[in-house]
Amino acid sequence: MIGFKHTQHITLTVSNIERSLAFYTGLLKFPLHSRLETHNPDGLVIHFLDIGNGVLLELLSFDAAPEPTEWLPDDLQAGFRHLAFWVADTDVTHRDLKDKGVEFTLDPFSTDGVRLAFFKDPDGNLLELLSGQLAYKEIYNPRVASSPPGRQSPAGCALAFCHLALTVLDRQQAVAFYRDQLGFEPVGTLGVDHPGKMHITFLQAGNAALEVFSYGPTAYPRQHPQGKPVLGIRHIAFEVNDVAKTITGLEQGGVHITRPPRFFAGIYNSFFEDPDGNSLEVISGRPVA
């Protein structure tokens, strides 16, 4: 298992950084944490935003337009699905954002003890608001279930990072990977009565949670384009004490390492894949504010 400290950031590639900053910092009120010029030939510029609970949103922008996202508006498609944020009152935040022209794909509704709404960012990435308390159908780990991650919004912001959702092809395999390789604890299940045999497993580690959707054989894989920048949710990064040692351990555990440890723009990092080919990063050092 990796020397997991916490979830550091979640990465989005955007098509128009000014528009995305207007949305994330102007409308959602996530403070700008830092900006990094990489001096890469492709013009990569990185903006880190504070999205609460100690997690950063990393926005990647390039000189040339990135490739369209491979994400489909269908949760049967494997891979990262949406980012979710706690709010005090879903209906209040929904009304406020809707009044400001934000497009909602699902207006507020109640399920599993929480009140949810779904909306889109300027590139069509799916975001979720939720308030209330998750009511698990089945609890795997009462100790972890009774001590969920906090709901620390940045100052002046109503939202706090809650979870990253992903659809997996093989639930057992995915849960074993995130538990045994990364140290996420399975907390419980949600929505076992939902139509379409949808099953949701919540995993928790430190300041973050993963919402794992599985559908049995009806889920289908995603193509993961290589090489060129692609729009959408790209990876999740975990801060560790020792990147090289962590990667050696993951490699020995049979994990596919996609980029060996390296120094990049003042930090030390490495990339690897989960069983569905989602990109994950381990990193030491935080971006300087």
The rounded distance, in Å, linking the Cα atoms of 10 and 269 is: 14
The rounded distance, in Å, linking the Cα atoms of 208 and 185 is: 11
Residue 173 CB, shortest distance to Fe ion, in Å, is 21
Question: Can residue 50 be called a binding residue for Fe ion (CB under 5 A)?
Answer: no
In the list 121, 123, 128, 274, the residue contacting Fe ion (rule: CB under 5 A) is: 128
Residue 22 CB, shortest distance to Fe ion, in Å, is 25
Residue with tokens 């830092």: 34
CB nearer to Fe ion: give 211 or 274: 211
The rounded distance, in Å, linking the Cα atoms of 132 and 113 is: 6
Residue with tokens 């995603």: 222
In the list 10, 59, 78, 165, the residue contacting Fe ion (rule: CB under 5 A) is: 165
CB 245 within 8 A of CB 252: no
Sign, CA torsion 36/16/57/12: negative
The footprint of Fe ion on this chain (CB under 5 A) covers a number of residues equal to: 4
From the list 60-68, 83-91, 132-140, 223-231, the region that binds Fe ion by CB under 5 A is 83-91
CB nearer to Fe ion: give 33 or 199: 199
Residue 233 CB, shortest distance to Fe ion, in Å, is 13
Residue 166 CB, shortest distance to Fe ion, in Å, is 10
CB nearer to Fe ion: give 46 or 166: 166
The rounded distance, in Å, linking the Cα atoms of 12 and 82 is: 11
Residue 163 CB, shortest distance to Fe ion, in Å, is 6
Residue 202 CB, shortest distance to Fe ion, in Å, is 10
Q: What are phi and psi of 21, to 5 degrees?
A: -65, -40
- CA angle (252 as vertex; 227, 211 as ends), nearest 5: 65
Question: Can residue 112 be called a binding residue for Fe ion (CB under 5 A)?
Answer: no
Residue 82 CB, shortest distance to Fe ion, in Å, is 6
In the list 46, 84, 175, 209, the residue contacting Fe ion (rule: CB under 5 A) is: 84
From the list 56-64, 121-129, 149-157, 280-288, the region that binds Fe ion by CB under 5 A is 121-129
CB nearer to Fe ion: give 58 or 211: 211
CB 282 within 8 A of CB 246: yes
Cα–Cα nearest to 173, from 251, 238, 74, 78 = 78
Q: Element (H or E) spanning 53, and its range?
A: none
Question: Can residue 211 be called a binding residue for Fe ion (CB under 5 A)?
Answer: yes
CB 157 within 8 A of CB 31: yes
The rounded distance, in Å, linking the Cα atoms of 79 and 89 is: 29
CB nearer to Fe ion: give 128 or 274: 128
Residue 164 CB, shortest distance to Fe ion, in Å, is 8
From the list 46-54, 211-219, 266-274, 280-288, the region that binds Fe ion by CB under 5 A is 211-219
Specify the amino acid at residue 90.
T
The site for Fe ion (CB under 5 A) is made up of: 84, 128, 165, 211
